[in-house]
């Protein structure tokens, strides 16, 4: 627009004539000075008088100039406002508190407002409240759902000067903030994006996870008929929906589907899981499935890897559930009921033989449990120590922090009792000594970040994991052998079974038998929690090997500070919604506060009417949560929502960066949400 501005009339004469005269007379005056100084001085005097006369004329005509400037400003404003007025997208100007100053034609038409509408923008879009606008720095963006349309609001803040005239003042004399609002309708884009996402392909692996248990009690004809009926159920559920279903083993299926089918499955809570349980053909036990689903990968191959990882997690968590892995996000469905203990020891025998072969092929063994080790992780480590020693392998237990709960046990493994001085390694020593010929044995934990020394997992050549906790989102992915048995009461129970198949002549020393037996006693809360037939069989085997009940009880006695901390946690407990006990356990002057917190959680379950207990223990910059229940409440899934895990009735979590009140509020919110959904029935 600037290239088309021209001056004319009196304004043109007033501006251009003096400029022309000065351009001509200035150089001429300089030339005259070369011939006559007196003549040059006269011309200079004339030019001075001319400039003076020009200034006088300029002052006389200042009103004309001012009027022209005002008319030009109005013209320029009309041009700019016209562009905004006819802009084909809704546009508005707001005060910093959200009050509408002005809106263009499109804004008025789309939202049915008059030009005189100067109320708050929150009256049209509740999301653009005054508080929301205050949080914007210089610019911001909001997604708005308006009458079924998906809008994007782009806002920009800008300082504008105040105006003060003879009869009008805008502002308080200082610069003030105004906000420009531009709206984009992305309804079609969102619809296309959703349609695109619905067409994305995912992979599912469906396993009959108790095939052998179901078929071993019926004859071959009934087994064939049972499998045929299961095939029909699976085929019926997955058929007719642009899905590829392929059975690649007697109890395994591969499914390739589109995302929209997964959404339907989530809506009906994977009804196939319950349908298959109703299939009976002479079998007494119901059939259960484990389903692993992989979506969100960059290609089919990555989704297939996600599906494999997901079904491994489902099996590791006890089966009878669906696990969906979308990149790093993992979602669980099913498995809300208590699992029946597996009586068969076939898996224990196979794992024992595999462990022996791996140990025979390594140069040395390093065993570690989880951070802030407890009696179960210590007893399991001792069991592996004995197995490796039987094969003549150098073996070390990695242990940094010796808590009060395991100190009496550890002190018995002294040189005087025939054990080497380097039986226990610090994490630094373990990392320095480990090489590619080292077997790193992980017990009582399957999360790499929870292990005593996460770095050690990548220092050794071979990693083996034995644990009784259910798989979570984080797993040790470089293990060559993984034995995760959620049905087991403790890792010590698993190790006892493995030792019986490890060699025909296993002779435990009293110190070793006591440590392993103590691990079972503590994790079962004196054989009252997660105790099955195999638990008592393992305890009996340890008793025959020399474990002494009285000696173990003395070793497990609490000190006075720990007992007082446990009592204080019980005293502080608040009862939420009539059946949930929530408390905090003091950590001051207590050597093993997390142990006291876990004991307090067990104690709270002895109170009539308490269905689940949650005890928080602040320790070393984290808040450790112990969750316990008797039978009705699945505390494991509650702890998973807080980033933890465990078992249905015994679980825990670790939270960083939050105080106790915030964590208690989170626990209450999780309980409320599950009660509203019907997952928890009061």
Q: What angle do CA 251, 256, 261 make, to 5 degrees?
A: 110
Question: What is the pLDDT, as a whole number, of residue 349?
Answer: 86
438 backbone φψ class: left, alpha, beta (φ>0; ψ -120 to 50): beta
Please count the other Cβ atoms lying within 10 Å of the Cβ belonging to residue 211.
19
Question: What is the pLDDT, as a whole number, of residue 582?
Answer: 96
Q: Which residue has the tokens 């890792």?
A: 491
Tokens of 458: 């990548």
pLDDT digits (tens, 9 = 90+) for 599-648: 999 999 999 999 999 999 999 889 999 999 987 888 988 998 898 888 78
Q: Is the dihedral of CA 18, 24, 30, 33 positive or negative?
A: negative
Coil, strand or helix: which one is 333? strand
- DSSP run (H or E) holding 154: strand 149-160
Question: What is the pLDDT, as a whole number, of residue 168?
Answer: 43
Question: What is the pLDDT, as a whole number, of residue 344?
Answer: 58
Least confident piece of the model among 77-81, 228-232, 403-407: 77-81
Question: What is the pLDDT, as a whole number, of residue 283?
Answer: 67
Q: What does the pLDDT average to over 401-417?
A: 91
Residue 156, pLDDT above cutoff 70: yes
More confident residue, 260 or 471: 260
For the chain, percent of residues with pLDDT exceeding 70: 88
Cα–Cα distance for residue pair 622/438, rounded to 1 Å: 32
Please count the other Cβ atoms lying within 10 Å of the Cβ belonging to residue 321.
23
Q: For residue 568, what are the contacts with CB-CB under 8 A and spacing of at least 6?
A: 585, 586
Q: What does the pLDDT average to over 461-478?
A: 86
- DSSP run (H or E) holding 372: none
Cα–Cα distance for residue pair 381/376, rounded to 1 Å: 9
Cα–Cα distance for residue pair 245/257, rounded to 1 Å: 9
Of 599, 645, 646, 592, residue with least CA distance to 619: 592
Question: What is the pLDDT, as a whole number, of residue 424?
Answer: 96
Q: For residue 428, what are the contacts with CB-CB under 8 A and spacing of at least 6?
A: none
Question: What is the pLDDT, as a whole number, of residue 81?
Answer: 62
The per-residue pLDDT of the chain, averaged, comes to 84
Range of 40-44, 516-520, 590-594 with top mean pLDDT: 516-520
Question: What is the pLDDT, as a whole number, of residue 8?
Answer: 52
Least confident piece of the model among 27-41, 84-98, 182-196, 559-573: 27-41
pLDDT digits (tens, 9 = 90+) for 340-365: 455 557 778 888 999 999 999 999 99
Cα–Cα distance for residue pair 399/80, rounded to 1 Å: 74
Residue 378, pLDDT above cutoff 60: yes
pLDDT digits (tens, 9 = 90+) for 264-278: 888 888 888 888 888
Cα–Cα distance for residue pair 102/96, rounded to 1 Å: 13
Residue 344: φ, ψ to 5°: -65, 140
Question: What is the pLDDT, as a whole number, of residue 628?
Answer: 93
Cα–Cα distance for residue pair 618/621, rounded to 1 Å: 7
CATH number of the 201-334 domain: 3.30.70.270
Of 19, 181, 29, residue with least CA distance to 100: 181
More confident residue, 4 or 662: 662
Q: Pairing between strand 252-258 and 244-249?
A: antiparallel
Q: Tell whether domain 564-677 is in CATH 3.10.310.30.
A: yes
Per domain, the residue ranges of the chain are 2-74, 88-193, 201-334, 346-555, 564-677
What's the CA dihedral at 271, 277, 279, 284 to 10 degrees? -170
Q: What angle do CA 13, 15, 17 make, to 5 degrees?
A: 55
Q: What does the pLDDT average to over 573-586?
A: 94
Question: What is the pLDDT, as a whole number, of residue 63?
Answer: 58
88-193 belongs to which CATH class?
Answer: alpha beta
Question: What is the pLDDT, as a whole number, of residue 390?
Answer: 93
Q: What is the pTM of this model?
A: 0.62
Question: What is the pLDDT, as a whole number, of residue 521?
Answer: 94
Query: pLDDT band for position 395 (50/70/90)?
Result: very high
Residue 157: φ, ψ to 5°: -95, 140
Question: What is the pLDDT, as a whole number, of residue 162?
Answer: 58
Cα–Cα distance for residue pair 2/477, rounded to 1 Å: 68
More confident residue, 83 or 196: 196
Question: Would you list the DSSP string of 4-46?
Answer: G----HHHHHHHHHHHHHHHHHHHHHHHHHHH-HHHHHHHHHH
Cα–Cα distance for residue pair 651/639, rounded to 1 Å: 6
Q: What does the pLDDT average to over 421-436?
A: 94
More confident residue, 116 or 71: 116
Question: What is the pLDDT, as a whole number, of residue 490?
Answer: 92
Residue 449, pLDDT above cutoff 80: yes
**C-alpha to C-alpha distances, 440 to 217, 402, 447, 464, 466, nearest whole angstrom:** 39, 20, 14, 6, 11
Tokens of 539: 């305890």
346-555 belongs to which CATH class?
Answer: alpha beta
pLDDT digits (tens, 9 = 90+) for 279-334: 887 766 678 899 999 998 888 889 999 999 888 888 877 788 899 998 878 888 87
Residue 370, pLDDT above cutoff 80: yes
């Amino acid at each position: 627009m600037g290239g088309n501005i021209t001056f004319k009339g009196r304004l043109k004469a007033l501006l251009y004539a003096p400029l022309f005269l000065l351009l001509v007379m200035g150089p001429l005056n300089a030339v005259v000075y070369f011939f006559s100084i007196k003549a040059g001085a006269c011309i200079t005097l004339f030019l001075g008088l001319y400039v003076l006369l020009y200034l006088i004329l300029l002052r006389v005509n200042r009103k004309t100039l001012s009027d022209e400037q005002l008319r030009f400003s109005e013209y320029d404003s009309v041009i700019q406002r016209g562009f905004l007025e006819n802009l084909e997208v809704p546009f508005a100007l707001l005060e910093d508190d959200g009050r509408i100053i002005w809106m263009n034609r499109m804004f008025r038409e789309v939202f049915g407002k008059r030009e005189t509408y100067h109320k708050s923008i929150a009256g049209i879009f509740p999301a653009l409240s005054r508080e929301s606008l205050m949080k914007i720095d210089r610019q911001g963006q909001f997604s708005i759902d308006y009458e079924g349309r998906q809008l994007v609001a782009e806002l920009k803040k800008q300082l504008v000067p105040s105006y003060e005239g003879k009869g009008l003042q805008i502002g308080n004399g200082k610069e003030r903030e105004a906000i420009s609002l531009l709206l984009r309708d992305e309804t079609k884009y969102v619809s296309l994006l959703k349609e695109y996402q619905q067409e994305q392909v995912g992979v599912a692996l469906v396993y009959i996870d108790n095939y052998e248990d179901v078929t071993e009690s019926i004859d071959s004809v009934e087994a064939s008929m049972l499998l045929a009926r299961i095939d029909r159920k699976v085929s019926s559920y997955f058929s007719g929906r642009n899905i590829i279903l392929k059975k690649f083993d007697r109890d395994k299926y591969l499914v390739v589907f589109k995302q929209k089918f997964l959404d339907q499955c989530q809506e009906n809570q994977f009804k196939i899981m319950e349908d298959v349980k109703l299939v009976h053909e002479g079998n007494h036990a119901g059939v259960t499935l484990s389903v692993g689903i992989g979506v969100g990968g960059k290609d089919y191959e990555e989704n297939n890897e996600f599906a494999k990882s997901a079904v491994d997690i489902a099996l590791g968590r006890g089966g009878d559930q669906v696990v969906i892995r979308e990149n790093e996000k993992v979602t669980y469905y099913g498995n809300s009921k208590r699992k029946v203990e597996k009586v068969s020891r076939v898996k224990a025998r196979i794992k024992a033989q595999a462990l022996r072969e791996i140990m025979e092929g390594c140069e040395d063994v390093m065993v570690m449990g989880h951070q802030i080790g407890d009696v179960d992780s210590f007893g399991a480590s001792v069991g592996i120590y004995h197995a490796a020693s039987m094969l003549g392998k150098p073996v070390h237990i990695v242990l940094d922090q010796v808590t009060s709960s395991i100190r009496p046990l550890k002190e018995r493994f002294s040189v005087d009792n025939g054990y080497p001085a380097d039986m226990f390694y610090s994490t630094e020593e373990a990392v320095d000594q480990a090489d590619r010929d080292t077997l790193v044995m992980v017990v009582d934990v399957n999360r790499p970040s929870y292990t005593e020394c996460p770095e050690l997992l990548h220092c050794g050549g071979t990693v083996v994991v034995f644990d009784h906790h259910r798989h979570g989102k984080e797993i040790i992915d470089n293990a060559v052998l993984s034995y995760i048995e959620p049905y087991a009461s403790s890792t010590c129970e698993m190790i006892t079974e493995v030792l019986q198949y490890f060699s025909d002549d296993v002779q435990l020393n009293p110190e070793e038998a006591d440590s392993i037996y103590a691990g079972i006693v503590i994790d079962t809360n004196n054989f009252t929690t997660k105790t099955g037939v195999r638990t008592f069989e393992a305890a009996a085997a340890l008793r025959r090997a020399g474990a002494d009940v009285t000696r173990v009880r003395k070793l497990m006695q609490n000190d006075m500070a720990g007992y007082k901390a446990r009592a204080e946690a019980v005293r502080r407990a608040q009862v939420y919604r009539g059946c949930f006990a929530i408390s905090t356990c003091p950590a001051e002057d207590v050597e093993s506060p997390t142990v006291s917190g876990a004991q307090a959680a067990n104690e709270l379950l002895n109170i009539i009417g308490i269905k689940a207990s949650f005890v928080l223990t602040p320790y070393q910059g984290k808040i450790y949560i112990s969750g316990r229940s008797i039978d009705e409440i699945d505390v494991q899934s509650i702890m998973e929502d807080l980033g933890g895990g465990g078992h249905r009735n015994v679980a825990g979590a670790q939270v960083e960066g939050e105080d106790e009140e915030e964590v208690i509020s989170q626990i209450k919110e999780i309980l409320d949400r599950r009660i509203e959904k019907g997952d928890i029935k009061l």
